[in-house]
Amino acid sequence: MSFDLRHDVPLAPLTTLGLGGPASHLADAGDAAGVREALDWSRERDVPVLILGGGSNVILPDAGFEGLVLRARAPGVSFEEGAGRGEAAGRVVVRAGAGVSWDEVVRASVERGLVGIECLSGIPGWCGAAPMQNIGAYGQELAETLVAVTAYDRDDGEVVRLPSDACGFGYRTSCFKAADRDRFVILSLELALAPDARPRPRYPELAEAVAREADLATLSPGEAVRLVRERVLALRRAKSMVIDPDDPDTRSAGSFFLNPVLSARAFDGLVERLAEHGIAAPVPSYPSPGGVKVPAAWLVERAGFRKGERRGGVGISSVHALALVNRDGTAAELLELAASIQDAVERISGLRLEIEPTIVENPPA
């Protein structure tokens, strides 16, 4: 057997929220052969399969998962200079296994003075899950540097290499989360990062934080990219968005709702709707492909929810209104709180906030 198989395994400790009951079966596979064999094992027994990564963007059912939870834990990180082709010419190609911690790849890249993913520092989870939601933060997205994904195609039973333009990337989404959900088991990533380049923070909050420390133009490229990473981590830590076992606010899935992206006309309608509820302009927004992005956290607070608010065993982070946290509660309580927030925001704005984490349900009996 080329995969590790266990039975009746608690899932809550495998997630950042710390929620979820046991898995009937849990398989850890370190390569494509292990993934294939684990899937064959489930197929022979007619057992449903859930693909799980680092557990940072998922809500598992309190009853657990009645099937096989499969984790692709391919190891390894490598850096190849001058390997970029086409638009990636002159860049360093980074290859990382699906089971490697994402922030470990960022840290190792920044230590080498490579630019392109420094703003994605501190994002929890494994590399294999990063393409699924096209992780992004502080003005950067994975899609900007990802060259290709290597994955096991469950439909064809083959290992395939999918170039970035075949991944269907959008704002916090991809084909792996949408059209091709559950089809591919991601095994590794290829990124193309720029050597000897100076980062240019685009996100105002980050740019201001960096400027308070130094003028990037006066630093070497390596010093500059390290400073940006340090400031990103500091900003995330202040919002309890860096995993810290001593910080109860980090028992979350990060930002729970997506920031709405609106056309100019829809944004004007939002302003009018909010005014009808006594919420005067200006409404915060910033440019985004396809229109303007409105901060979901601002809408949550305007709908009457406070940082630190508690509902039973769950609540809202004391430092970030967009993070729902587990305070020894249940997944059902968390989803009930999320629904109440969605309802309240919709009443004042006409917008239904979209939940970012994946909500897992057991298949029908």
CATH number at residue 47: 3.30.43.10
CA distance 59 to 337: 13
Residue 335, domain member (yes or no): yes
What are the tens digits of pLDDT across the range 297-343? 999 999 999 999 999 999 999 999 999 999 999 999 999 999 999 99
Is 172 noted as a catalytic residue in this protein? yes
Residue from 188, 255, 317, 349 carrying the catalytic annotation:
255
One domain, residues 232 and 328: no
For residue 90, the model assigns a pLDDT of 83
Is 255 noted as a catalytic residue in this protein? yes
H-run or E-run covering 190 = strand 184-193
The domain boundary residue, chosen from 72, 91, 108: 72
What are the tens digits of pLDDT across the range 31-84? 999 999 999 999 999 999 999 999 999 999 999 999 999 999 999 999 998 765
One domain, residues 156 and 99: yes
For residue 180, the model assigns a pLDDT of 94
Handedness of CA 150, 155, 158, 163 (dihedral sign): negative
One domain, residues 92 and 221: yes
Residue 42, domain member (yes or no): yes
For residue 281, the model assigns a pLDDT of 86
Residue 211 domain boundaries: 77-238
Please check the confidence at residue 87 and state whether its pLDDT lies above 70. no
Q: What is the mean pLDDT of residues 238-265?
A: 94
For residue 1, the model assigns a pLDDT of 66
One domain, residues 21 and 102: no
CB atoms within 10 A of CB 241: 26
Residue from 172, 226, 236, 251 carrying the catalytic annotation:
172
CATH number of the domain where residue 200 is located: 3.30.465.10
One domain, residues 191 and 327: no
The domain boundary residue, chosen from 28, 53, 72: 72
Helix axes 204-213 and 221-238, enclosed angle (nearest 10)? 120
Considering the chain, what percentage of its residues have pLDDT values greater than 90? 91
Residue 244, domain member (yes or no): no
CATH number of the domain where residue 324 is located: 3.90.78.10
What are the tens digits of pLDDT across the range 110-158? 999 999 999 999 999 999 999 999 999 999 999 999 999 999 999 999 9
Residue 365, domain member (yes or no): no
CA distance 243 to 56: 10
CA distance 186 to 75: 12
For residue 229, the model assigns a pLDDT of 98
> Total domain count for the chain?
3
Residue 364, domain member (yes or no): no
pLDDT band of residue 88 (cuts 50, 70, 90) is low
Average pLDDT, the chain: 95
One domain, residues 185 and 82: yes
φ, ψ for residue 190 (rounded to 5)? Answer: -125, 130
The domain boundary residue, chosen from 174, 203, 238: 238
CA distance 150 to 284: 39
For every residue of 317-331, DSSP letters joined together read: -SS-TT-EEESS--H
Q: What is the mean pLDDT of residues 202-230?
A: 96
